[in-house]
Structure 1
């Protein structure tokens, strides 16, 4: 297995509160560990125009599975934070880091 850091962009179509943001970050915290933290990557970057980037660390056999897993995790976390999918459309995920034991 390989550890991938996946960045998923998106846009909040409605403003999110500080507590909603905190709930989202807590829901994703377990996916932001050694690789992403050692590289100084923030879990959530939220810009003034409500566009955002989420960086998640996932274990997967390949890039495709890593991107799918990250998207599923983010979708579930958004739901947990009370954000409807229609209110936070996601862009295509991208691999922004790899840590392999090979």
Structure 2
């Protein structure tokens, strides 16, 4: 599935991923390939991204924390998510 993470300043991430775990307002939840469509509000926490490879733009790479070669996290204050047709768009503050 494709994951795009967008902030008011820039597109922070856009690539194919294996899974993404998000901090929902009622607890974290994970999205895998072929997940049902969803729209949700996000709370403060970490977006956890799992993929086979990562390419970050130099301007935004510092925002991501490496867990291991296939996992990175991004701390957010709030946001929204929309998933449709295996494309996840996350708008973050």
More strand by share: 2
More helix by share: 1
TM value normalised by structure 2 = 0.31
Which has the bigger relative contact order, CA under 8 A and spacing at least 6? 1
Larger of the two Rg values belongs to structure: 1
